[in-house]
Structure 1
Amino acid sequence: MNATVCAIVVTYNRSELLKKCLNAITNQSVNVNHIVVIDNHSTDTTPKIMRSMSSNQILYKRLDDNYGGAGGFKRGISYALKNTHDQYFWIMDDDTIPTNETLENLLHATLLLDDFGFLTPNTHWKDGTPMNVPPIAQNWSVAADKGLIKVKEATFVSLFVERKKVEKVGLPFEEFFIWHDDTEFTTRLSKLAPGYFVSGAMVVHESAGNSAPSVYTDVSSRISRYYYLYRNEMYICKKHKGKIITLTTFLRDLFVSLKVLVVAPDHRAKRFATVLKGTFSGLVFHPRG
């Protein structure tokens, strides 16, 4: 395969996982031409480790602040566009551990398709259970005989995309900060060409847990983050999914805001206000491109 690939990894204060991730990338069965590591202003040993690893292949950029996942991925993709000429970008979190043949299988999938908006691998948690499973598209089975399932969207846990597609749709929105920046980005990509789940391309997501976060039960220090979840999701509905889905989502979120007043174990008023504020903010939110 003559394709050139730049891996883009965003990290923050997880130096041991980062080393494991980078080791997995550099030991792929096919060559990775460049690895861009974007450091969201880590305060652990990440800067020391990365300065010792910087090379013509590994390009390290430490940011002057923590810009969240969205800001990190925006800056990582932008850096790769400006500092490499690679054909494909392989985008991932620092807790994503590809198997040895992940990239080979992603590249093989490109040969099986006339066109694609993005590819997403088969992601499992540490115990082997599936996670980050993307929602399937209506005509999901068009390439199922090739081990490819058509999907609507995907996450930055691991995402494979052509450089020329990114140049057409633009970068992720930094203002999303966390949550759904990848959903919105892949929704834009899917308007150019379909996205596909590549069943043979395996990665392990070594996150702290394999359960979706919940505004009903999450610890008090994380409640304020849910503002971004509900705001960003509402924006995506308004921008990309039409009036009916937007209205349905709005009513669902109103129900959630009321439900937390009944079922949440603590900080009910704060949880209620966060959901409500995020939902209404999403109706008028217009991120800059």
Structure 2
Amino acid sequence: MSTAPETVAVVVVTHNRADLLLHMLDGLRAQTHAPDAVIVVDNASGDHTSDVLAFHDLPGLQVLRSEDNLGGAGGFHLGMKTAHAQGFDRVWLMDDDVVPAPDCLAVLMSYDGDCLMAVREDRNGHLVEKAALRFDLSSPFAIKPKTAMVETTYGERSAMPPTVELENVAFEGFMVRRRVVDTIGMPDPSYFIFYDDVDFALRARRAGFRILGVRDAVLVRQLDFSQQHALDTWKGFYMYRNLFVVHLRYGENVLVRLKPWLITAVVVLLSPVRGGRAEASNVIRAMRAARGMRSLPPTTVD
């Protein structure tokens, strides 16, 4: 008795990056394994994103236009909810600034895994996969919980084994099966941006699902990583708040759950010689806001 092949929907979230989105959609059109649907969540873009989406000839393209910017977290929540409601077996989450190699989706679909991650490189072919091999929420001495990642552990793609087990992911090339969503629910939209993917991965692993990074599934980033330098901007508020939420929700002991208060105190004390008033204000506001987000998101898919 033959088994029908699994269906897959791609969910892309975009905001005011029409030219990057165009390259990304071209990459999806070139896939040797064509997705069954491509659901693009347009987060209230004010550029020519609507024109790109209106005139692109990508088969199976669906556009969800939000009048408000839901952030990446809200966009992925909406997109995954839509894909789940339409009955797809797998959902492949994608940002607008990456381009998959032509066989990327085919490689992922060839693996029988509930949670799979494509491995990112930059435009020069250098490995830039920052997904964690170790995300430590047990040691109070791990100031940054990501203590090992693919990029720094292996250096180059050729040094990787065919699959590596991951402890967190990015919603750039992450594929998840329907039964995972049925078990743990949707991405948490309250994160707005940053750490919504980490939160989802933590919940998946705690429910018993393994996450595998697939070496031969190649995803190319069109932009360099630069968020780590934005701690005194509006993005810094979300970076601090959401990092604190992860510790408060998933810290494995009381000392780890106290780390956000320690980080807040240190950042404020050092603010005269590093981030200044803006970063100090961000971290104080972040600590206050994180306390209101300690409850886990619902496991329902409604």
Q: Any idea what the Cα deviations from partners look like across 1:142-183, whole Å, max 9, x if unmatched?
A: xx9961111111011221000121122111111111111111
Which residue is 2:213 aligned to? 197
Structure-2 change in CA distance of 1:250 and 1:127 (3 Å): farther
Q: 2 CA distance for matches of 1:13 and 1:229?
A: 21
* CA spacing shift, 1:131–1:206, aligned 2, 3 Å: same
Work out whether residues 238 and 246 of structure 1, in 8 Å CA contact, stay in contact via their aligned partners in 2.
yes
Distance in 2 of aligned mates of 1:102 and 1:261: 47
Question: What residue is the counterpart of 1:126 in the other structure?
Answer: 123
Give 1:81's aligned amino acid.
Answer: H
**Are the aligned partners of 1:24 and 1:97 in contact in 2 as well (CA < 8 Å)?**
yes
Residue 276 of structure 1 corresponds to which residue in structure 2? 284
- Alignment check: 8 A CA contact 1:71 1:177 kept: yes
Match of 1:24 among 3, 7, 27: 27
Amino acid at match of 2:190: E
Distance 2:160 2:46 in 1: 47
Q: C-alpha separation between the residues in 1 aligned to 2:257 and 2:97?
A: 33
Identify if the C-alpha distance between structure 1 residues 56 and 20 changes in structure 2 by more than 3 Å, giving closer, same or farther: closer
C-alpha displacement of 1:286: 4.0
Corresponding residue of 1:251: 262
Once residues 254 and 132 of structure 1 are traced to their aligned partners in structure 2, the CA distance between those partners, rounded to angstroms, is 31
1:108 corresponds to 2:110: yes
Residues in 2 aligned to 1:30 and 1:55: alpha-carbon distance in whole angstroms: 13
Please name the residue that 1:263 is paired with. 274
TM-aligned CA deviation for residue 11 of structure 1: 0.7
Pairing 1:50–2:53 present: yes
| Higher percent of residues as helix | 1
Contact 1:119 1:198 in 2 (8 A): yes
Which of 219, 244, 249 matches 1:234? 244
Deviates more, 1:180-189 or 1:249-258: 249-258
Residues 240-249 or 13-22, more deviating: 240-249
- In structure 1, the partner of 2:68 is 65
SS of residue in 1 equivalent to 2:279: helix
1:39 aligned partner = 42
Give me the TM-score of the superposition, normalised by structure 2.
0.82
Residue matched to 2:181? 166
Identity over the aligned pairs, expressed in percent?
24
Which stretches in structure 1 are left out of the alignment for 5+ residues?
none
Give the conservation status (yes or no) of the 8 Å contact 1:132–1:155: no
- Counterpart code for 1:108: S
Task: Report whether the alignment pairs 1:79 with 2:82.
Answer: yes
Encode CA deviations 1:69-91: one digit per residue, 9 max, x unaligned: 11111111111122x22210000
**Equivalent residues of 2:161, 2:215 under 8 A apart:** no
5+ unaligned residues in a row in structure 2: which ranges? 136-148, 150-158
SS of aligned partner of 2:133: coil
Q: Does the 8 Å CA contact 1:261/1:272 hold for their aligned counterparts?
A: no
> How far apart are the structure 2 equivalents of 1:145 and 1:135?
14
Q: Tell me what 2:142 maps to.
A: none
Secondary structure, counterpart of 2:127 in structure 1: coil
Two-structure CA RMSD over aligned residues (Å): 2.4
- The amino acid that maps onto 2:130 is V
Q: Tell me which moved more, 129-138 or 184-193.
A: 129-138
Distance 1:28 1:131 in 2: 22
